[in-house]
Amino acid sequence: MALSALLLSGAITAQSTYIEFKMNSADGIGGTMKTYTQDGNVRTDINMVAAAMPGGGMKRSVLILKNDPKTSYLLNDERKTYSVNTMGDREPSISDHTEYEVTVLGKEKVNGYDATHVKVKAKGAQMEEELWTSPGVLYYDKYKASLTKYTSAPMYKALAAKGADGFPVRIVAGDHGHAVQMDLVKAEVKSNPASLFSLDGYTKTEGGYAGAMREGAQGALDYMKNMTPEQRQQWIDSLRRAHGR
């Protein structure tokens, strides 16, 4: 779900904008996702707060630069490192041909926008998302024109076919009673500093995104080593509760 929201926000690259989502769940997951665009560059900062995670949460940033839009950089601000993922000139994948089932639930006013409430499910999948979409969000017309083979265009075509064309102002996704809700709280024109779109001061992590995941796992282990036995047991108990065990 967070990834789909990232793609939705990051597609708006033509203007200098600031877009902010907040997230929350009954499991105690909270945080924000902030997307900055400037001169064709895009940066999304994800700050997830969750008691069940080492350190109480996670902070990560994804950077896409206008001079190489097929490459994304995953930033770790705590360690001042980054990893690289290159999409390249690939052939369309199976997901590019995924068919979506869209059920319109009605019209609602959400976060200040006139929105269409829908359920969206990829055919054959177990989990479904609820979206509240609105064409009234800042620069939506330019976002719509920017859809490429690197975004989930089939889903938006399915939405448009049901009269639910628009940018999501609320997203609810999850299963087994552990849904996460994301709400659009800001979408505004804003001049963003060039430093947000720079890799200066960061060191490259080898191994691409997989290397970044290993680095994150090592960070979790380092955090656990500094726990007292009581803190470690509390963390394990919170994980069990979060997963219904």
**Other C-beta atoms lying within 10 Å of the C-beta of residue 83:** 22
Domains of the chain: 2-242 (2.50.20.10)
Residue carrying the six token digits 């945080």: 31
220: which 2 tokens? 């979790």
CB-based burial of residue 32 (10 Å sphere; 0-12 exposed, 13-18 middle, 19+ buried)? middle
User: Which amino acid is it at 188?
Assistant: E
93: which 2 tokens? 């994948």
- pTM value surpassing 0.85: no
Q: What is the pLDDT of residue 20?
A: 92
Q: What is the pLDDT of residue 221?
A: 46
Write out pLDDT tens, residues 172-183.
Answer: 987 656 788 999
CA 223 to the chain's CA centroid: 25
> Helix count (H) and strand count (E) of the chain?
5, 12
List the single range of 40-49, 109-118, 225-234 with lowest mean pLDDT.
225-234
Q: What is the pLDDT of residue 13?
A: 52
**Mode of pairing for the β-strands spanning 203-204 and 81-86:** parallel
37: which 2 tokens? 């665009």
Q: What is the pLDDT of residue 103?
A: 94
44: which 2 tokens? 């999304």
With CA atoms as reference, report the closest residue to 44 among 90, 93, 77: 77
147: which 2 tokens? 């859809």
List the single range of 77-91, 185-199, 202-216 with lowest mean pLDDT.
202-216
With a cut of 80, say whether residue 208 has pLDDT above it. no
Q: What whole-number distance in Å separates Cα of residue 29 and Cα of residue 195?
A: 29
